[in-house]
Amino acid sequence: MTSMLGSTSTPLSRIFPPSILNRSNLFTTHLKSSRDSYKKIVNFAGIRFGSVTRVPYRSNRGFRSGIVAMAGSDAVQKSEDEWRAVLSPEQFRILRQKGTEYPGTGQYNKFYEEGVYTCAGCGTPLYKSTTKFDSGCGWPAFYEGLPGAINRHADPDGMRVEITCAACGGHLGHVFKGEGFRTPTDERHCVNSISLKFTPEN
């Protein structure tokens, strides 16, 4: 079998359509091919392109500096039935129906181990343990989330600001500012324990 590219005398116009021979179109085609190949490599590595990236290395300062969270167009989307299938009834009530656990009852209210708190619904890293503090409110409190990991929405009544997981939209709790806590941001992310999963440093 003779290759189309086997003869040096074959004009390129017989091999490629005119649009491909145009320099700008050829460059665009190359970029698209490279981007598609990159997506395949990333997906093969087990990372969802454009959504959540875990950087599994440890620096000299430990586990905390190796976590990045990004919310992109490829968000975690499930139907209500699909969420019910993967969440416990209480997780579904809080994460998907915006419920609230009773104060002082949550697993992480008085929990101060080193590590990272992720979304109980989709596993997105949300908070570093170094940002957790004791506010005395009865729920886990953090003064900031990981960059791009958390969205804010004003409640319909305008009284509070809801915080949700940027990847899956799961309800986390509410954020309050200007309460006088001596934290770098003067914010309190008041989060339901059941909305979180903890990953220890070691």
Q: Is residue 94 part of a domain?
A: yes
Give me the pLDDT at residue 76, please. Answer: 86
Q: Is residue 70 part of a domain?
A: no
Q: Is residue 142 part of a domain?
A: yes
Are 40 and 79 contained in the same domain?
Answer: no
196 pLDDT exceeds 80? yes
- The one catalytic residue in 119, 122, 165, 190 is 190
pLDDT mean over 16-22:
45
Range in 46-55, 138-147, 185-194 the model is least confident about: 46-55
Are 110 and 174 contained in the same domain?
Answer: yes
Give me the pLDDT at residue 201, please. Answer: 87
Q: Which residues contact 2 (CB under 8 A, 6 or more apart)?
A: none
- CATH number at 188 reads 2.170.150.20
Q: Is residue 124 part of a domain?
A: yes
**What is the domain range of residue 23?**
12-44
Give me the pLDDT at residue 202, please. Answer: 76
Are 86 and 172 contained in the same domain?
Answer: yes
Highest mean pLDDT of the ranges 32-46, 57-71, 122-136: 122-136
Query: Greater confidence, 144 or 158?
Result: 144
30 pLDDT exceeds 60? no
Query: Greater confidence, 25 or 196?
Result: 196
Q: Is residue 161 part of a domain?
A: yes
CA distances from 35 to 28, 85, 126 (A): 11, 34, 28
Are 165 and 80 contained in the same domain?
Answer: yes
160 pLDDT exceeds 50? yes
Q: Is residue 57 part of a domain?
A: no
Q: Is residue 22 part of a domain?
A: yes
pLDDT, tens only, 80-126: 999 999 999 999 999 999 999 999 999 999 999 999 999 999 999 99
Are 32 and 122 contained in the same domain?
Answer: no
Are 38 and 81 contained in the same domain?
Answer: no
Are 95 and 193 contained in the same domain?
Answer: yes
How many folded domains does the chain comprise?
Answer: 2
Are 20 and 96 contained in the same domain?
Answer: no
Where does residue 159 rank: exposed (0-12), middle (13-18), buried (19+ CB within 10 A)?
exposed
Give me the pLDDT at residue 168, please. Answer: 97
Q: How many CA atoms lie within 13 A of 13 on its CB side?
A: 1
pLDDT mean over 55-68:
37
Catalytic (active site) residue 168:
no
Are 124 and 176 contained in the same domain?
Answer: yes
Are 38 and 111 contained in the same domain?
Answer: no
